[in-house]
Amino acid sequence: MSTLRPRAGVVSYINSVPMIHGIQQGRVPCNWDLHFTTPACISELLFAGEVQSGLVSSFAYTGAGSEYVVLPDVSISSCGNVQSVLLFHNKPLGRIRHIHLSSSSLTSSNLMRLLMHLEGVPCQYTAIDGEEQFAPDQQPEAVMYIGDRALQELRLGRFSYVSDLAALWYDKFHLPFVFALWVVRRDFAGEHPAAVGELYHSLQQSMAYGKQHRDEIAALCGQRIGYSPAESRDYLSKIHYELGPEHLKALKLFYSLLEIFQIIPEAPVVEFFPVPER
């Protein structure tokens, strides 16, 4: 392997902090450089080979599954309300006909489309920049934001209704929703399995560190988005970072429904990286 350290893409929202805080603080050794951006940008960087691994939206795997393997036991998921993937709207859900969708996450955008299909609601969609804000006199009928931008809009209270997409999913299927997976380029994993194994173990140690330092992380994240430590901790407590049997069941259901409603041509098979034993 080159003397250059491999690079991993990490979403730049506060929901990733409990996952990588131990690495960032130097408490957990990691031989990878972390690059922070949006889920959609991480997908582009992975495809271009500019990062070798990264946390991508679970939808991104549907179009490039053959190029990637999934790290086991790692995700960003939620069982019910997640508070950071939200549809803000001024009409009841069944009367919405036009939704502006944040382009920052392919998963959230396509989950929104899928949920409206399941409700039998015909809709038009317009992609917008994930940070776009609308003047009060130009407020759209409905707009979906994710991440820190969704949390900020929630505090403003400018819309008559707020729908949490993870909660809508849970109400229908009583399963968690998997928003993001940690994937590795298949070619890199084949050539450098030891480096990928080291990344896996670093992430597991860092997530364990995050659980032990919840208050510290809550205070740090609250400062970033204007939340109190208690509000921040409440939000972060709703995020799952594991990828267990129920998460996999939910992920496969999501992919199957995307295929049924012809949002994707075929549901992918999730293939995991075989983590070497230490």
Query: Region 10-37: what's the mean pLDDT?
Result: 94
| Angle, vertex CA 267, rays to CA 196 and CA 195, nearest 5 | 5
Supply the pTM of this predicted model: 0.90
- Per-residue pLDDT at 213: 96
Answer whether 7-80+177-261 and 86-173 agree in fold: yes
Round to whole Å and give the CA distance between 34 and 193.
18
How many Cβ atoms are within 10 Å of 130's Cβ, its own excluded? 21
From 66-70, 144-148, 174-178, 257-261, the region with the lowest mean pLDDT? 144-148
- Per-residue pLDDT at 278: 63
Q: Is residue 43 over pLDDT 70?
A: yes
Q: What is the DSSP letter of 15?
A: G
Query: Region 108-135: what's the mean pLDDT?
Result: 87
- Per-residue pLDDT at 161: 95
**Mean pLDDT over all residues of the chain?**
92
Q: Is residue 1 over pLDDT 60?
A: no
- With a pLDDT cut of 70, the percent of the chain lying above it is 96
Residue 53, beta-bridge partner list: 8, 184
- Which residues make Cβ contacts (< 8 Å) with residue 135, sequence separation at least 6? none
Q: Is residue 73 over pLDDT 50?
A: yes
First CA to last CA distance, the chain: 20
Query: Region 195-216: what's the mean pLDDT?
Result: 96
Q: Which CATH architecture has domain 7-80+177-261?
A: 3-Layer(aba) Sandwich (3.40)
- Per-residue pLDDT at 6: 97
Each domain of the chain, given as residue ranges in start order, spans 7-80+177-261, 86-173
- Per-residue pLDDT at 132: 67
- Which residues make Cβ contacts (< 8 Å) with residue 277, sequence separation at least 6? none
Q: From its phi and psi, is residue 225 left (phi > 0), alpha (psi between -120 and 50) or beta?
A: alpha
Q: What are the tens digits of pLDDT across the range 141-184? A: 999 998 888 888 888 888 999 999 999 999 999 999 999 999 99
15 contacts 3 by C-beta, under 8 angstroms: no
Specify the CATH number of the domain 86-173. Answer: 3.40.190.10
Q: Report residue 87 CA to chain centroid gap.
A: 16
Q: Is residue 130 over pLDDT 90?
A: no
Residue 142, beta-bridge partner list: 89
Round to whole Å and give the CA distance between 233 and 207.
15
Which residue, 219, 263, 198, 244, is CA-closest to 63? 263
